[in-house]
Amino acid sequence: MRALKPAPPFFMTDSLLQDAPSAAALPEWFTKAKASATSAFEALPMPTRRDEFWRFSNLKALDPQDFTPARPVASEVCEELLASSSGIKASAGRLVFANDQLLARNTDAELAKTGVLWMPLSEALHSHSELLSRYFMRTESVLGSAKFQALHRSSVKEGSFLYVPKGVSVSAPLEAFHWLAGSGQAVFPHTIIVAEEGSSVTMVDWFKSASEARNMACGVNDLHVGAGAEVRYVCIQDWSRQTVSLHANATTVAERGSATHLGLHLGGLFSRIESLSRLNGAGARSDMLAATVADSAQEFDQRTLQDHRSPETYSDLLYKNALYDQAKTIVSGLIRVEPQAHKTDAFQKVRNLILSPDAEANSLPGLEILADDVRCSHGATTGEIDAEELFYMQSRGIPARDAYRLITFGFLNEVLERFPDQTVRERLQETLRARLHGH
Amino acid sequence: MSLVIQNLHARVVGGQEILRGLNLEIEKGRVHAIMGPNGSGKSTLSKIIAGHPDYEVTSGEVLLDGTNILPLSPDARARAGLFLAFQYPVEIPGVSNANFIRAARQARLAEGEELDAVDYYGELYKEMDSLEIPRSFTARSVNEGFSGGEKKRNEVLQMAMLQPSYAILDETDSGLDIDALKIVAAGVNAQRSSNVGMLVITHYQRLLDYITPDVVHVLVGGRIVRTAGPELAHELESKGYDWIREDLAESASA
Ligand SMILES: Nc1ncnc2c1ncn2[C@@H]1O[C@H](COP(=O)(O)OP(=O)(O)O)[C@@H](O)[C@H]1O
Ligand SMILES: [Mg+2]
């Protein structure tokens, strides 16, 4: 194991290079891109609120802080984290990471026989370098976080690699846990899913903190949905309330493929969440879902793009935010329909439930329709708990506070209900219920 | 043991007076019916008893087994034994029917006590079966996308699951075809017992063919203007509400 000498702040990028595990053994394409990402990170300016993609953002939260790349976690703590990694009851495989280091892994024996690859990124870089190189961070950042994606690219060392061969259907979900321990540390979790033609898979990512300490996470997802393939992905962001989190998702869908991306956003102090769905082939579909519980001084800054590049594509976005206390949310959603993407359906709905007079919800919809014969709609609403719903519940004996919680649960549960996998849905509901407990 | 409404005056908060000195006593074990023309204040009466925040009581009392419930919150009134079957049941998106009723049951338990899930579902299914509500409705969001008849059956289901000591049924017959009406009425009749007093509100006499009341009242202009046996309902059916109004006008001028 490396000596644990305290590393300088991550914004001093030298330390990131030093930190890479046995850099010599990594494939050349990876280290080359890493080096150029390091320069890109240094060259790119910090975003300002004048940037279109950072309007209303609280950039203070992103001021360079003394975060260092996360150090390995002591073995007693690892034991505890493993014990707390309770996700889906019957998963087809799981990976558990703490501070970007693998703690545990398993794969259903039957699954391995189907040719599905399910392994930590660090291993895939060696064993499936060529395959990985074709998909790894191939989608450029278009939603404002180019600098932070460069940081991720320059610092990433661990994550999940899931490859589903042509025609293979994985029925039980796969899941990964990313723990963040210590304080003043930064992790760079990565998830890459490649679903080949006609395949089908569900994956769940958990992001959790070992303590309430202030840390940083800068993660990236690559979801590649092949022709006629189906990918259902959930991210449960449950970092500590002191964590600064940046997470960028890029989904690309080939013809007739279908992606469902659901974010359950619960934790973090400041969370920047970018999600791009690129519909590359005719008949491709993407469902973009998010349910956010924001309380205390939490901020969730969500930016999305539904990018229709082929005819007869379909996208449907539903983002819901429940805001307590002084919490703040932003949903800035752009629909872009390229000239050739005729007969496209693109929908976008943002719903905010305000539970405190001090909370602030911002919705910034945008449309860029360059094709004819397109069905598009977008709408954002902001409201409070409906008085008649409250009275109805109370008239059954349910105390007002419980009624508020139940109605809020229902409001967000409408998003969870859209997720096709029942086991996962029930686990999400349980997690949401636990998060609302005490409100 | 009874639910007593004494000289109740109430209005829309800061607005028009709707109840103008209403008196009524519903004894446990008895079924009272209130009939009245549209807009006479029937729903308002039921909502005021249940504690709807749109209304304020300017004078009078509502005593549940001797305790004035007017100072209580709507949920405390319900836990004290009151139940209101809504004329227009409310939809609650994203909250399953089973969880909703379960929360209502849980609210009646002591702090720290947990509902037994197996018993609960057993009981729920039994009541749903007898009301001919498909079991898939446990997972459906409360009242969302339910037909008029399904909503009313769902109200009766909740009443069955919550076992109130006083139940007010506000136009539980409206919007029902005859078959649905029979099912709902059977559900209500099954709950008639010496432990519960019922107030059945209806615009039409039809419901009272299936739920035979002990007493019938007529509500006009925020007041009970006539009280008699079940035959009053038939009289109203044949003569209409104008007959009562004319009668009232005559006795007022006499
Ligand atoms: N919240 C309210 N705001 C204003 N007017 C109301 C309100 N509730 C009831 N009213 C009025 O009170 C009267 C009685 O209504 P309601 O109790 O619904 O009658 P019923 O149920 O007998 O048809 C009607 O004129 C109605 O418009
Ligand atoms: Mg009415």
User: What is the structure's pLDDT at A65?
Assistant: 60
H helices, E strands: number in chain A: 10, 21
Residues in CB range of B18: below 8 A, 6 or more apart? B10, B11, B12, B41, B44, B55, B222
CA distance A410 to B141: 8
CA distances from A404 to A400, B2, B98, B149 (A): 6, 32, 17, 27
Q: Which ligand approaches the C-alpha of residue B218 most closely?
A: 1
CA distances from A72 to A63, A132, A149 (A): 25, 25, 23
Residues in CB range of A411: below 8 A, 6 or more apart? A320, A322, A351, A353, B93, B94
User: What is the structure's pLDDT at A2?
Assistant: 35
Residues in CB range of A224: below 8 A, 6 or more apart? A135, A192, A193, A194, A195, A252
Closest-CA residue of chain B to A399: B75
CA distance A154 to A11: 11
Give me Rg for the CA atoms of chain B: 18
Residue B84 pLDDT > 70, yes or no? yes
Q: Is B36 in the pocket of ligand 1 (CB under 6 A)?
A: yes
Q: Is B11 in the pocket of ligand 1 (CB under 6 A)?
A: no
> What integer best gives the mean pLDDT of chain B?
94
- Confirm or reject CATH 3.10.105.10 for domain B2-89+165-178+193-253, answering yes or no: no
And the tokens for A101?
A: 């280091």
Interior CA angle at A85 toward A181 and A410, to 5°?
Answer: 105
User: What is the structure's pLDDT at A64?
Assistant: 52
User: What is the structure's pLDDT at A63?
Assistant: 63
Of the two residues B253 and B217, the one the predictor is more confident about is: B217
Residues in CB range of B244: below 8 A, 6 or more apart? B218, B220, B225, B226, B236
Among candidates B93, B107, B162 on the partner chain, residue whose Cβ is nearest the Cβ of A410 = B93
User: What is the structure's pLDDT at B239?
Assistant: 87
And the tokens for A224?
A: 């590649």
Closest-CA residue of chain A to B101: A396
Q: Is B43 in the pocket of ligand 1 (CB under 6 A)?
A: yes
Helices (H), chain B: 42-50, 74-79, 97-106, 117-130, 148-162, 178-191, 206-210, 231-239, 241-253
CB pairs under 8 A between A and B: 84
Cβ atoms of A235 and A203 within 8 Å: the answer is no
Residue B202 pLDDT > 60, yes or no? yes
Mean pLDDT in order along chain A per 10 residues (439 residues): 34 38 76 95 91 88 76 93 92 96 94 95 96 95 94 96 98 97 95 98 98 95 98 98 96 98 98 98 98 98 98 98 98 97 97 98 95 94 98 98 98 98 96 96
User: What is the structure's pLDDT at A355?
Assistant: 98
Using a CB-CB distance cutoff of 8 angstroms, which residues of chain B are in contact with residue A411? 93-94
User: What is the structure's pLDDT at A256?
Assistant: 98
CA distance A58 to A19: 30
Q: Within 13 A of A251's CA, how many CA atoms are on the CB side?
A: 31
User: What is the structure's pLDDT at B251?
Assistant: 73
Cβ atoms of A137 and A207 within 8 Å: the answer is no
The domain locations on chain B are: 2-89+165-178+193-253, 92-145
Q: What are phi and psi of A249, to 5 degrees?
A: -115, 135
Q: Tokens 């009970």 identify what position?
A: B224
Closest-CA residue of chain B to A412: B94
Using a CB-CB distance cutoff of 8 angstroms, which residues of chain A are in contact with residue B144? none
User: What is the structure's pLDDT at A11?
Assistant: 36
**Mean pLDDT on B75-97:** 98
Among candidates A395, A406, A411 on the partner chain, residue whose Cβ is nearest the Cβ of B74 = A395
**Which element (helix H / strand E) includes A42?**
helix A28-43
ipTM of the complex: 0.97
CA distance A71 to A68: 8
Ligand 2 center to B193 CA (angstroms): 26
The domain locations on chain A are: 23-280, 385-439
Q: Looking at CA atoms only, how far is residue A326 from chain B in angstroms?
A: 25
Residues in CB range of A252: below 8 A, 6 or more apart? A139, A223, A224, A225, A278, A280
Ligand 1 center to B121 CA (angstroms): 38
Using a CB-CB distance cutoff of 8 angstroms, which residues of chain A are in contact with residue B12? none
CA distance A52 to B81: 57
Among candidates A400, A411, A414 on the partner chain, residue whose Cβ is nearest the Cβ of B75 = A400
> Could you tell me how far CA A121 lies from the centroid of its own chain?
17
Cβ atoms of B164 and B81 within 8 Å: the answer is yes
Q: Tokens 């506000």 identify what position?
A: B170
Three-class secondary structure assignment of chain A: CCCCCCCCCCCCCHHHHHHCCCHHHCCHHHHHHHHHHHHHHHHCCCCCCCCHHHCCCCHHHHCCCCCEECCCCCHHHHHHHHHHCCCCCCCCEEEEEECCEEEEEEECHHHHHCCCEEEEHHHHHHHCHHHHHHHCCCCCCCCCCHHHHHHHHHHCCCEEEEEECCCCECCCCEEEEEEECCCCEEECCEEEEEECCCCEEEEEEEEEECCCCCCEEEEEEEEEECCCCEEEEEEEEECCCCCEEEEEEEEEECCCCEEEEEEEECCCCEEEEEEEEEECCCCCEEEEEEEEEECCCCEEEEEEEEEECCCCCEEEEEEEEEECCCCEEEEEEEEEECCCCCCEEEEEEEEEEECCCCCEEEEEEEEEECCCCEEEEEEEEEECCCHHHHHHHHCCCCCHHHHHHHHHHHHHHHHHCCCCCHHHHHHHHHHHHHHHCCC
**Cα four-point dihedral sign A114, A120, A126, A132:** positive
Banded pLDDT at B254 (limits 50, 70, 90): low
Q: Is B40 in the pocket of ligand 1 (CB under 6 A)?
A: yes
Digit-coded pLDDT (tens) for B126-157: 999 999 999 999 999 999 999 999 999 999 99
In single-letter form, the type of residue at position A277 comes to: S
Residue to test with chain A: of B90, B141, B151, B161, most A Cβ within 10 A: B90
User: What is the structure's pLDDT at A8?
Assistant: 33
Ligand 2 center to B140 CA (angstroms): 26
Chain B CB within 8 Å of residue A314 CB: no
Cβ atoms of A295 and A326 within 8 Å: the answer is no
Q: What is the DSSP letter of B65?
A: T
Using a CB-CB distance cutoff of 8 angstroms, which residues of chain A are in contact with residue B108? 397
Ligand 2 center to B14 CA (angstroms): 21
